[in-house]
Amino acid sequence: MSGRLTGERCVYVLFALCGLFAVIMSGSFDAGFGPGAAFVPKIFGALCCVFGAIGALAPGGGAQARIAARELGLIAGGFALYGLFFAALGFFWDAVALALFLTLTFVPTRRRWIVLALEILFVLVLYAVFTQLFQVQFPRGLL
């Protein structure tokens, strides 16, 4: 093992841990290895754990990409932001708020206001299509 913590190894470890978790948790489903509810989770969980460990321990090879802190931050930040918006605004407005925030963050300044207007128009069209055409009820209305 190269000892280098890479994104690829983390994914292998994630799958191995999920497999191990499945094997441990499935012990409570029913007794024994017979074709009961625990059968598939135990077998395939064990295989997932073994293969994941093999991949994580393999010396080098494959993509040695480092964990991209920027990408992790973007994904984790997106999660956290959406959660904040959801807690504060409830559904639909949280999606609108996230779209507006991403526009202000990622779109170049000179196009920002045009894009903001188009994004607002887009979500309004989405709202109209789902509520009027497909009769979907959103938890909080537009007004």
Partner 1 sequence: MNWAAVLREVVTWHAMAALIGGTLAGLFVGALPGIGPAVGISLLLPLSYFLPVGDALLFYVSLYQAAEYGGSITAIAIRTPGAPNSAAMILDGYPLNQKGQGGKAFAYSLWAAIFASYVGIAGLFLLSQPISGAALALGPAGFAALGLFGLTAVATLSIGSPLKGVIAGLFGLLLSTIGTDLITNVQRFTFHQPALYDGVPLIAVLVGVFALPEAIRLLTSQEQVEKPPLSHAQYRVWLHWPEFRAVFGSMSMGTVLGFLMGLLPGVAGTVPPWITYNIAKAMSRHPERFGSGEPEGIVAPEATNAAVMHSTLIPAFTLGIPGTPTSAVILGAMVIGGLHPGPLLFAKSPDVVYELFCGLLISTAALWVIGLLTTQLWARMSAIPKKPLAIAIISLCITGVFVSRGNPVDIWICFVFGALGYSMDRYGFPVAALVLGLILGSITETNMRQALLISSGSPLIFLQDPISLTFLLLSALAVWGGFWLRTRVLKRAAALASHVASGMDGA
Binding site for partner 1 (CB under 8 A): 7-8, 10-12, 14-15, 18-19, 22, 25-26, 29-30, 34-37, 39-41, 44-45, 47-48, 51-52, 54-55, 62-63, 65, 70-71, 74-75, 78-79, 82, 86, 91-92, 94-96, 98-99, 102-103, 106-107, 111, 115, 118-119, 122-123, 126, 130, 133-134, 136-139
The least CB distance from residue 29 to partner 1, in Å, is: 5
The least CB distance from residue 94 to partner 1, in Å, is: 8
Residue 66: strand, helix, or coil = strand
What's the rounded Cα separation, in Å, for the pair 112 and 106?
9
> How many other CB atoms are found less than 10 A from the CB of residue 78?
13
Rg (C-alpha) for the chain, rounded Å, is 23
In the complex with partner 1, the residue whose CB is nearer, 92 or 143, is: 92
- Check residue 12 and give left, alpha or beta (phi > 0: left; psi -120 to 50: alpha): alpha
What's the rounded Cα separation, in Å, for the pair 93 and 99?
10
CB-CB contact of 95 with 142 (8 Å): no
The least CB distance from residue 97 to partner 1, in Å, is: 11
The least CB distance from residue 55 to partner 1, in Å, is: 6
In the complex with partner 1, the residue whose CB is nearer, 62 or 141, is: 62
The least CB distance from residue 138 to partner 1, in Å, is: 8
What's the rounded Cα separation, in Å, for the pair 143 and 42?
51
